[in-house]
Each structure stands twice: as structure tokens, then as C-alpha cells.
Amino acid sequence: MFRKAAVTTVSNGSYLQGQANGRLPSMDGGQPAQEGKVVLKKKVTLLRGISIIIGTIIGAGIFISPKGILKNTGSVGMSLTVWTACGILSLFGALCYAELGTCIKKSGGHYTYILEAFGPLPAFVRVWVELLVIRPAATAVISLAFGRYILEPFFMQCEIPELAIKLVTAVGITLVMVLNSTSVSWSARIQIFLTFCKLVAILIIIVPGVIQLIKGETQHFKNAFAGNDASVMGLPLAFYSGMYAYSGW
């Protein structure tokens, strides 16, 4: 008995006749395609790549953390101290990751570094903790902030209902999931737009503040550490909020 050559269908309704060695000829009649090789189309341009990096580094934490830090520290001076300490600690972490990235030239992030240093079991556990706990929690925080900020203009005179925030959050997560599953190009375009909006919002906060400082509005810095004393439980929460804002590295 003789085995027939395999026939593989393609997307346009035609088919390619398989060769005896199991390889398929290329569409243009040139060299045969490499067996088992899958290649993604390059649709992330320079601008899209920059917007993804900026959107990852400057996350929603910068709009959420300031309130938590000031509330848990009790004074302007202590809150600025926490911001500085968290920034220095994040700088050390970023430098360590830069060194790891130059020493271990493999993709995978945390998984690859833990795999090289401690073996497969801790790396596997780290990936599943990231998948089941860290990422869903971070996504929930960002999405809830999105839902609250979207509804804020409609509930300026009263408190926003929690059910409304959760519904808008669920719709936002669903739209992002569908968009990312449908088209890489549209996902990148939305990323560029959202990064632009994020940078504009930060400039709207920073520029008027700098102008007020230039005008001499520095009364809050005269007795910067005066106010409510920071509690033992408040400082860790303040540091956590600060590290969350700096977690883009």
C-alpha cells in the first residue's frame, strides 16, 4: 500500500499539494516553507511600541495612589517622604531588572529570571500566582478606577452607586477583551489614544501645580509635618500605594 500525499487547505479556498517529505511548497513557488514554523505578522510599529511602553510604565496607579498616601501618612511632609522612598526603591528595582535583562537574553520576564536562578518549580509557581492572583487583582483595581472616573461627571451632586461602577467596569473589561481578540491594529490604535489622554491628564495636574508654586503658593510646606500622626498600620499602606504607583518599572 502507498500513502497518499497530504493535502492542506488554505484560507482562499484553494489547496497546496504536500510533498513526499511532508513539507509544503511556498505560495510564490520559491523554497519550501520551514516545517512547523509559526510567525506572527509585525503590526506593532515604532509609535505603537512607544505608546505600549509609556502606557505600561505610567499606569492608573498615579491617579489612585496620592489619596491613599496622604490619607495614611497624615501630613504633606510625610507623604512626600514616602513618595521619595518609594521612588528610590523602585529605581533600585529597575536597575536590577536592567542588569537581568542584559545578562539573561530570553523573553519571559519574571518566569525566565526565576527559572534561571532557582529552577522550574518556583518559576512555575510564580507564573500561576501571577495568572490567578496578581494580574486579576491589578486589572480589577484599574477597571474599578475606570468605572468610577467615567461615572464621576454624572454623579457630581451625590455618591456614585457601587452597582453602577461594577457594571461599567464589567463592560469595560469585556470591550477590551473583545478588542484585543479581534484586531492587533485596533488595539494598538486604542493604546495610542489612551496613552495620549493619560499624558494630557498628567500635564493638566502638573502644569497648574508648578504655576501655583511659582506664584508663591507654598503655605502647605511651612509646617509640612504638622497634622495627624501616621499610625503603625497606616505607613505600610502608604508605602504599598506608593509602590503601586511606581510599579511600571
pLDDT digits (tens, 9 = 90+) for 83-114: 999 999 999 998 998 898 899 888 888 889 99
- For the four alpha carbons of 18, 20, 26 and 30, in that order, the dihedral sign comes to negative
**How much is the mean pLDDT over the chain?**
80
C-alpha of 68 from chain center: 20
Give the start-end residues of each E strand in the chain. 7-9, 15-17
- Looking at per-residue confidence, does 235 or 11 come out higher? 235
Q: How confident is the model at residue 85, as a pLDDT?
A: 93
pTM for the model stands at: 0.69
Least confident of 33-37, 46-50, 114-118: 33-37
Residue 35: predicted pLDDT: 63
Which cell goes with 243?
Answer: 509602590
Which pLDDT score is estimated for 197?
Answer: 86
Beta-carbon contacts of 126 under 8 Å, excluding residues fewer than 6 positions away, are: 110, 111, 114
Residue 19 pLDDT level (bands cut at 50, 70, 90) = very low
pLDDT of residue 34: 56
Q: Where are the beta strands (DSSP E) in 120-172?
A: none
